Chain A
Amino acid sequence: MVQFRECPSELENFYLCRQSNFEPVVIDVILEQKPLDWDPVTFSPKPDLVEHSSSKDKNSFFWNSDQEESGCEAKGEKVIERWFVQHESRKGRDCSSGSRRSSSNNLSALYKKLLLLLRSLYVTFRLLPAYKIFRDLNSSGQIRAFKLLPRVSSSDKSFTQKDEAEMQRFWFTPVDTSCGRLCLSVLYRSSISDTSSQSSTPMSPQFIPDYVGSPLTDPLRRFPSLPVSQPIDRLQFLSHHPQHIQNHMLWFLTQALAVRAATYELTSSSSWGISTS
């Protein structure tokens, strides 16, 4: 069981505020450096970190000291992945045109192509550098100096030239739909500074009385699993009116991306001393 915090509500609010289904969805996976003045063990200022922060050369992990230059990232944050999901509308074509049989064939073909896209998305997630950080946070018993956060928006904030030079783009081939095409791409940092060498503190063996799932807290919320690991009711999926397919595709993909980003965030929270079940 995994408890979500801000991401699912963020995603829900995002969908409520969307003016149109054709607006792009931008999902950022952000590597956030923990506040300098926070010690998770003693909850007191850490003078050694404050001292290091004054010397930019000593520790390249301290990014974005020039906040004005980046313009889009808060201090201590670095976007390590940016996913773009958009359904581009095909103008001047009636989505519901065509016979019932051809519509059914088209839906079968569309389902197949979406499934292929999801498969390759699933594999790609694991090949990007953020996955390694996620695994480090997940497996280490240390309290790390950073965490992963998701951010969902509909605007593509530009990166600095320096950041863009460090990033690579991968385009997934668009999938044609009856009303247009579904486009997906990712911009990712091909190398991230070695976060495993950053200062970390072993987790103290303290008993946490209000851990997630304990009788003292609210019951865990269930979350929808990623479709590839659950049986898919294809008849139900295919029976939807074609005009609503793009809604579900967008929801489908953004859920998959947001769930992944949120899972990264939750895992990094574990390393901050918050217990999960």
Chain B
Amino acid sequence: MNCEVCQLKELEVEHFEIREVLRCILHTIVFHRALGLVRPKDVDLELFEITYVQCGDVELEKKIDEKIDHFISWVEKHPNKKSQICLSFYEVKSKQPSWFTNKTERLYWEQWYVNLNVTQHPKHHSSKSHHTKLIVDPGESATEERSCRRAMVEASLREVLFQIIKFVNEKKDHVPPISEGVIYFPYEITIPSSSDSAFGMDMIKRMLHSGHPTMLS
């Protein structure tokens, strides 16, 4: 089976922005893959002027938030590191059971990689040349810098959302047929675990299930 992979543009975010950014991206992807009956719910981001769409499913929201919590915990233990969250969609296929393998296997047909670079907010060091200015108005340049940075993150997030829309439109043939009564395709969200090697093992497992190397663009 053809497994389509989408590497989303890397976003540079600060710690307090992670939750909103991830919710926006993950829910947008899942909304495009929930082809059963859904009640779309508009959600306004608090930090950015972006509205995204959720499926209106409380359970789904809970599962995604749990994963985001785990990711935030991982980030706190691994500061200033680039990280990747993988949202995969798969089909469950039954196969011949054996001593070493399960009766069912997962055939991944789509993988989304959300790339984040979580940065620490730079502390404002008062340089000698700007010392006088800071005394007069210490907050102004910091506020301007912050709002400029915020605008850049918002623009990047919008780009990522359009990237998702573009991918969904361009690649449709690999999406499995819609089953009656099924709202979501089975999915899993993989975050880096406490050790990087374990994350690598997850990737290798997925490659073995999907039958070919994961394409990294």
A, B from the same assembly: yes
Interface string of B166-181 (1 = CB under 8 A from A): 0011101001011010
Asked if residues B172 and A113 are in contact (CB atoms below 8 Å), the reply is yes
State whether the Cβ of B198 lies closer than 8 Å to any Cβ in chain A: no
A229-B172 contact in complex given A115-B35, A127-B162, C-beta closer than 8 Å: no
The 0/1 profile, CB within 8 Å of B marked 1, for residues 102-140 of chain A is: 000000110111011101101110110001100100000
Asked if A112 and B172 make an inter-chain contact with CB atoms under 8 angstroms apart, the answer reads yes
Contact of B168 with A115 in the complex, beta carbons under 8 Å: no
B50 at the A interface (CB under 8 A): yes
- Asked if B206 is at the interface (CB within 8 A of a chain A CB), the reply is no
B182 within 8 A of partner (CB): no
Please give me the residue from chain B that is nearest to A235 by CB atom.
B180
The answer to whether B142 has its CB under 8 Å from any CB of chain A is no
Is A112's CB under 8 angstroms from B42's CB? Answer: no
Q: How many interface residues does A have (CB within 8 Å)?
A: 26
What is the interface of chain A mostly: helix, strand, loop, or mixed?
helix
Q: A263 vs B137: C-alpha distance in the bound complex, in angstroms?
A: 45
Q: Contact at A123–B165, with CB atoms within 8 Å?
A: yes
A38 within 8 A of B: no
Kindly provide the distance from the CB of B27 to the nearest chain A CB, expressed in whole angstroms: 10
CA of A116 to CA of B32, assembled, Å: 7
Nearest A residue to B51, CB-CB: A126
Nearest Cβ on chain A to B167's Cβ, whole angstroms: 10
Nearest CB to that of A113 among chain B residues?
B172
Residues on A with beta carbons closer than 8 Å to the beta carbon of B178: 108, 111-112, 115
Query: Which chain A residues lie closer than 8 Å to B32 at the CB level?
Result: 116, 119-120, 123
**Interface SS of chain B: helix, strand, loop or mixed?**
mixed
Q: Smallest CB–CB gap between B120 and chain A, Å?
A: 29
A230: nearest residue on chain B (CB-CB)? B37
Question: Which B18-50 residues sit within 8 Å CB-CB of chain A?
Answer: 28, 31-32, 35, 37-40, 42, 49-50
Q: Which residue of B lies closest to A126 (CB)?
A: B51
Q: How far is the CA of A167 from the CA of B158 in the complex (A)?
A: 16
Indicate if B74 sits at the interface (CB-CB under 8 A): no
Task: Judge whether B86 is part of the interface by a CB distance below 8 angstroms.
Answer: no
- Whether, in the assembled complex, A17 has its beta carbon less than 8 Å from a beta carbon of chain B, the answer is no
For B51, B158, B162, B172, which residue has the most chain A Cβ atoms within 10 angstroms? B172
Instruction: Digitize B183-205: 1 where CB-to-A-CB distance is under 8 Å, 0 elsewhere.
Output: 00000000000000000000000
Q: Flag if A173 contacts B172 (CB, 8 Å).
A: yes
If A108-B177, A232-B37 touch, whether A131 touches B51 (CB-CB below 8 Å) is yes
Identify which of B39, B53, B164, B170 contacts A126 (C-beta below 8 A): B53
Q: How far is the CB of B172 from chain A (nearest CB, A)?
A: 5
* Bound-complex Cα distance A120 to B167 (A): 10
Check A123/B53 contact, CB under 8 A, given A111-B178, A115-B35: yes
**Is A49's beta carbon under 8 Å from chain B?**
no
Known: A112-B175, A113-B172, A116-B32. A124 touches B42 (CB 8 A): no
Q: Decide: B35 and A127 in contact? CB cutoff 8 A.
A: no
Complex: chain B residue closest to A114, CB-CB: B172
Residues in A neighbouring B161, C-beta threshold 8 A: 123, 127
Q: Apart from A116-B175, A122-B31, A126-B51, what are 4 other A-B pairs with CB-CB below 8 Å?
A: A116-B169, A122-B40, A123-B31, A231-B37
4 A-B pairs closest in CB distance: A173-B169, A126-B51, A120-B165, A119-B32
Residues of B with Cβ closer than 8 Å to A? 28, 31-32, 35, 37-40, 42, 49-53, 158, 161-162, 164-165, 168-170, 172, 175, 177-178, 180
11 A-B contacts (beta carbon < 8 Å)? A109-B177, A112-B177, A115-B35, A116-B35, A120-B165, A123-B28, A123-B32, A123-B164, A127-B51, A127-B158, A127-B161
